[in-house]
Structure 1
Amino acid sequence: MSVTSLVTPLKRQTLSGDVYDQFKELLISGRMMPGEQISLRNMAQALGVSVMPVREAVQRLAAEQALEISPNRTLRVPRMSVSQFREITSIRTNLEGMATAASTATMETAEIQQVVLWHERFTHEMAKKQPDGSHLISFNKELHFAIYRGARMPVLLQLIEALWLRIGPILNYDLRSGPTRVGERVALSHHASLVRAIQARDSEAARTALQADINSAADFIISVGALVAADAPPPVPQAGNPK
């Protein structure tokens, strides 16, 4: 499926911010793959805008290391090395663990019910004979961010979003890797422990379950060789704009 089929045409013509938001959602939700190339013209056509706001948005994302411009000015989703992935995973366990512990203490009942709803949708999809990986990825992302928003710590939420922006394309590899990993129901077990802890208002148990969920997925991604073994040299600044 082409990435251009995943975006929604925009109603206004001026806004690189709107384009940025759509790219951001695709990256965070894991709907763009590492190494995937992106055509500015095709994306602009899918969004119903000129190339200029798309170019502005992708240059912003490139500055945030969420996209990269190759030496021939091709735009693509970066591949991630093992060491980069380990570093981001370590940061995630701390920041997302902090957000989870805080939200467990502060969420209103309605917010907890929303978390439970996403867990139930994830569980229902997992129970199918052939779970839809795209649905699992979406429900997983919504579950996590429903929890993080409940912490009422906007700066922390921004930091978490920045990490997911870079790691999203690889983060959900275990949920789209086929029946073997999904069949193990590992994420479901961690989510169940997480939701129970939140319902019990047990902040430390919730933090522990969340961190176990992150580390389990990370260990699997590393074990199957889904990452680049060595760090790439720093990119050489290129003249001109991406294609």
Structure 2
Amino acid sequence: MVGATIDGLERIHRETVAGRVYRDLRNLIMAGQVSPGEGLTIRTLATTLGTSMMPVRDAIARLAAERALEVLPNRTVRVPLMSRSRFEELRTIRLMVEGHAVEAGVRRMTPDGLDRLREIHDAFKAEHDLSDPDAGALIRLNKDFHFHVYAAAGMPSLLQIIEGLWLQIGPVLNFDLRSRSRRMTERAALGYHEELVRAALRGDAAAARAALVGDITSAGDFILECGALLTEPFPNMDG
């Protein structure tokens, strides 16, 4: 009886570690903390996360099934490359799905939620306006800003769909927020975020959606123009 209890606790522990590793890697990819084509090693990830290689292998298998990572024939793990056609497809879907989420989120956002939205925006603005902003911090805050609004919609299934889209698109955001681009110099992302905050404070769901559309479209146009995407799909991307 005691052995059965101990075995049960051990299984829960392993599942908890595996779940944490999966969530940590998933959030890393969604937040654009890795770049398309970047290689990852199981040993390095295990060391960084302070765990064994088994839960890392399990997490990589799950993320590969979600097309967030790919395992090449030589068993190298890397962040998938992105083609122009696939990027444009994902952007079109994002505009529809995230547009709906932001409208619903603004309609249902509480006063505390509005305060938190302003806090995230203020942190993004403070980092953005530094002479040498931390690109990693900008990318994380950008994700936090968007998902705070989406989560306010109170639609877990919708949020899960958006997370799946960001798993695929997140690394490509590096080309925007990690670049000393005209879009950064002109404060485009910051401007659209400010418009969205003002719309949320007014409870104007349509204006919030317009700001989001402007943000996604502007970032997408820059990424398409920067020449970093493949003109043809990468052979391993679709299995």
- Asked if these proteins are the same fold (TM beyond 0.5), I'd say yes
Q: Check the 8 A contact 1:104/1:151 in 2, yes or no.
A: yes
Q: Which has the higher helix share?
A: 2
Q: Which residue of 1 aligns with 2:29?
A: 27
8 Å CA contact retained: 2:35, 2:172: yes
Q: Are 2:81 and 2:234, in contact at CA under 8 Å, matched by a contact in 1?
A: no
Matches within 5 A, 1:103-118: 103-118=105-120
Task: Say if 1:78 and 1:205 are closer, same or farther in 2 by CA, change over 3 A.
Answer: same
**Which AA in structure 2 matches 1:103?**
G
Superposition pairs for residues 203-214 of structure 1, below 5 Å? 203-214=205-216
- 2:228 maps to which residue? 226
Counterpart secondary structure, 1:219? helix
Identical amino acids, percent of aligned pairs: 46
Contact 2:81 2:237 in 1 (8 A): no
Dislocated runs of 4+, deviation >4 Å: 234-237
1:157 equivalent to 2:148? Answer: no
Can you list the C-alpha shifts for 1:105-124, whole angstroms capped at 9, x where unaligned? 11101001111111111112
The separation in 1 between residues aligned to 2:108 and 2:53, in whole angstroms, is 43
Name the counterpart of 2:76: 74
Aligned Cα root-mean-square deviation (Å): 1.6
CA offsets 1:88-145 (integer angstroms, 9 cap, x no match): 1111111111010001111101001111111111112222222221221121111111
Give the direction of change, closer, same or farther, for the CA distance of 1:130–1:87 in structure 2 (3 Å limit): same
Contact in 1 for aligned 2:72/2:236 (Cα 8 Å): no
Q: Higher Cα Rg: structure 1 or 2?
A: 2
Contact preservation (8 Å) 1:13, 1:49:
no
**In the alignment, what sits opposite 1:147?**
149
Does the Cα contact within 8 Å between 2:84 and 2:232 map onto a contact in 1? yes
Q: What's 1:3 paired with?
A: none
Q: Would you say the 8 A contact 2:104–2:205 is kept in 1?
A: yes
Paired AA for residue 96 in structure 1: E
Unaligned runs of 5+ in 1: 1-11, 238-243
1:49 is matched with: 51
TM-score normalised to structure 1 length:
0.88
Any residues of structure 2 matched to 1:52-201 within 5 Å, and which?
Answer: 52-178=54-180, 180-201=182-203
In structure 2, stretches of 5+ residues that fail to align are: 1-12
